Structure 1
Amino acid sequence: MSFFGFGQSAEIDVYLDGQETRKTAEVKTEDGKKERLLLYYDGETVIGKVNVSLKKPGSKLEHQGIKIEFIGQIEMFYDRGNHHEFISLVKELARPGEMIAHTSYPFEFSNVEKPFEVYTGGNVRLRYFLRVTIIRRLADIVKELDIAVHTLCSYPEMNNSIKMEVGIEDCLHIEFEYNKSKYHLKDVIVGKIYFLLVRIKIKHMEIAIIKRETTGSGPNTFTDNITIAKYEIMDGAPVRGESIPIRVFLAGYDLTPTMRDINKKFSVRYFLNLVLMDTEDRRYFKQQEITLWRRGDKVRKPNIQSPAIMAGTQNLENTAAVYGHQNNGSQNETEADDDNEEKSENAPVKEDFLRSQSTDQLNNTVTDPFDHANMSPTDRSPENQIQNMKREEGDGQNDIGNDVSVE
């Protein structure tokens, strides 16, 4: 609106250096859609320029100053009036005065600390953005530009496997094992389920990845469980001694790194949920928490040949040149028999490669880490204790009125 000259008389455009070649990342918006934003990392400098253009040529713009801010902010959806800023940097671009032509203002935020990753969940949003403000007496002119921030981690030093025995007393006893407890976002979860005792009629078994978002604290704590993926890993009734493999590829799912107590405002944790259903449609489950982390892109090293390889290649080329020269010289001989004898005497002798008579065998058996025949009963349970599976409540699927909680 521009009634009485009170509307916006200028447009603001923020340009970031290298934005044509900088990597981008998909970030979920508040309404569930996705947009691509320029990607930055912790400690990286944010540099660019602000272009302010007047809408009407020949006009002028009076202002009380122009500034740019770099802001890291957490917004709770249930408390939209309060924004919690954990980063707030300000740069002054222009002092109070008049603008009579299009003007460009460079800016730089050096080595900006960005400790958290961008996130949009069911109840909370964490974002980083640049805000340009032209301060005016009646109404400020404001422009915001969001950026994406990813936090990279190195491979964890301790990454033990998850191994546990669970069951229902005198009815079911199973052992499940996952190869690791910490996975990067494009990793593969490999595991196995082993049935030690089966005295109930199982119809099928499934595994699910659950994201648990916790916001607030104390009595104002809100928990939101979201099923990221779920698929069936077994159909039918197993028998004692049966083994079911598990293989879950994480790259195809919308996952974020595990976040624990971010700025004392929210947490995001992930669980593997193993669910059994019997013929009476009763569901039993056991959850196990896993840690997810973001790994940096692998940089392939250039294929530089070592001096030894280059020397060997040169020797082969020299041999080929000598061999070709001798062949050309022999073609000038008048006798065909003499020509064949000359070639046979000077040509290099070809020898067959012999297989090494080492004791190594390609067919040596490798011990299966999930093979229970090689484990003692005590090894199967780190805590030497069987944990009970719980009856699933509030799932909303296949629940019937006469279900009985069994532990």
Structure 2
Amino acid sequence: MVGTSLLNKKAANIKKENGQMAPVPLFQSQESVVGEVRIEPLPGKKVEHMGVKIELLGQIELYFDRGSFYDFTSLVRELDVPGEIVDRKTFPFEFSTVEMPYESYNGVNVRLRYILKVTISRSYATNIVEYKDFWVRNFSPPPEINNSIKMEVGIEDCLHIEFEYSKSKYHLKDVIIGKIYFLLVRIKIKHMELEIRRRESTGSGPNTYNETETLAKYEIMDGAPVRGESIPIRLFLSPYDLTPTYRNINNKFSVKYYLNLVLVDEEDRRYFKQQEITMMRID
């Protein structure tokens, strides 16, 4: 029996593959990963081995290429020289100030994970391998420049609106504040809503897979506005399952966020304007 424990006291509740939430040890880049490995043979048995090692791995797994893991971090510590283990034995380990540049991520088509992998090498049988996942979250400083977003939506001689968001970079518990101005309205608008969309891109070139999720729908207005009307926007982000923006991580995947303004007329025609925003985890 092989077990791995970590000495950190922080944990994050993460949704597992079965959909259940479970606590997972939580770290951030430049922290030390310290713990111990316990090996306990079955009663009356012994484990003969050619060495015991532990690896700290940062991996990207693309689900359409399942079984292939791309390592961007790989560290190893030798725990024991060849020999045999008769009774329970404990091996302490430490990976000091580990650079873990990317946040953990479980997406639709891709997973970025950090694991500890213990291997008991054996010459006469299959190696014994044990895995333990941990989670990484990294924080960014507040942006020095955070420009507002100003855009227009127009249909010639029918509709002309301007919308403005107070900034273009948001932290995960932020609030989107903005305003929409109606300069020309000659179509019968039924309602208007603001969507938060997440687009996950995996692969590259002609083999790029794009997966877009609508994470939030916020109705801004119900009914037809008149010229000169202005509608305020205030959308709180904390209820939604957001991550930071990921840009071309290890040339394998990106995750981007968009604000999508949607107008629906009385004939259920939809008009929309999309704008990319940057999501950040700020301490």
Residue 249, structure 1, aligned to residue 236, structure 2: yes
Contact preservation (8 Å) 1:30, 1:120: no
User: 1:245 & 1:179 partners in 2: Cα distance?
Assistant: 11
How far did 1:233 drift? 1.1
User: 1:144 & 1:130 partners in 2: Cα distance?
Assistant: 6
Residue 125, structure 1, aligned to residue 111, structure 2: yes
Aligned to 1:106: 92
Contact preservation (8 Å) 2:47, 2:85: yes
Bigger share in strand: 2
Aligned to 1:148: 135
**Cα pair distance change 1:32/1:221, threshold 3 Å:** farther
Aligned to 1:179: 166
Could you list the per-position Cα deviations for residues 186-236 of structure 1 after superposition, in whole angstroms to 9, with x for gaps in the alignment?
001001101000000101001100000000001110000000011211110
Aligned to 2:7: 17
User: 1:151 & 1:225 partners in 2: Cα distance?
Assistant: 24
How far did 1:32 drift? 4.1
Aligned to 1:54: 41
Give 2:14's match in structure 1, choosing from 20, 23, 27: 27
How far did 1:166 drift? 1.7
User: 1:94 & 1:190 partners in 2: Cα distance?
Assistant: 58
How far did 1:138 drift? 1.4
Report how many residues are paired. 282
Aligned to 2:199: 212
Which residues of 2 match residues 258-297 of structure 1 at below 5 A?
Answer: 258-296=245-283
How far did 1:108 drift? 0.6
User: 1:85 & 1:32 partners in 2: Cα distance?
Assistant: 26
User: 1:16 & 1:26 partners in 2: Cα distance?
Assistant: 16
How far did 1:68 drift? 0.4
User: 1:210 & 1:225 partners in 2: Cα distance?
Assistant: 7
Secondary structure in 2 aligned to 1:54? coil
Give identity over the alignment, percent.
62
Could you list the per-position Cα deviations for residues 39-63 of structure 1 after superposition, in whole angstroms to 9, with x for gaps in the alignment?
101011101111111221x422111
Residue 169, structure 1, aligned to residue 159, structure 2: no
TM-score under structure 1 length normalisation: 0.68
How far did 1:64 drift? 1.2
Give 1:76's match in structure 2, choosing from 15, 40, 62: 62
Structure 2 counterpart of 1:14, one-letter code = T
TM-score under structure 2 length normalisation: 0.97
Contact preservation (8 Å) 2:178, 2:234: yes
User: 1:240 & 1:191 partners in 2: Cα distance?
Assistant: 18
**Cα pair distance change 1:31/1:213, threshold 3 Å:** farther
Residue 88, structure 1, aligned to residue 74, structure 2: yes
Residue 116, structure 1, aligned to residue 102, structure 2: yes
User: 2:51 & 2:24 partners in 1: Cα distance?
Assistant: 28
How far did 1:26 drift? 2.6
Aligned to 1:362: none
Residue 202, structure 1, aligned to residue 192, structure 2: no
Unaligned runs of at least 5 residues, structure 2? none
Contact preservation (8 Å) 2:6, 2:25: no
Could you list the per-position Cα deviations for residues 255-283 of structure 1 after superposition, in whole angstroms to 9, with x for gaps in the alignment?
00000000010000000000000010100
Unaligned runs of at least 5 residues, structure 1? 1-10, 297-407
RMSD: 1.0
Bigger share in helix: 1
User: 1:31 & 1:122 partners in 2: Cα distance?
Assistant: 14
Could you say which structure has the larger radius of gyration? 1
Which residues of 2 match residues 295-306 of structure 1 at below 5 A?
Answer: 295-296=282-283
User: 2:28 & 2:39 partners in 1: Cα distance?
Assistant: 28
Structure 2 counterpart of 1:125, one-letter code = R
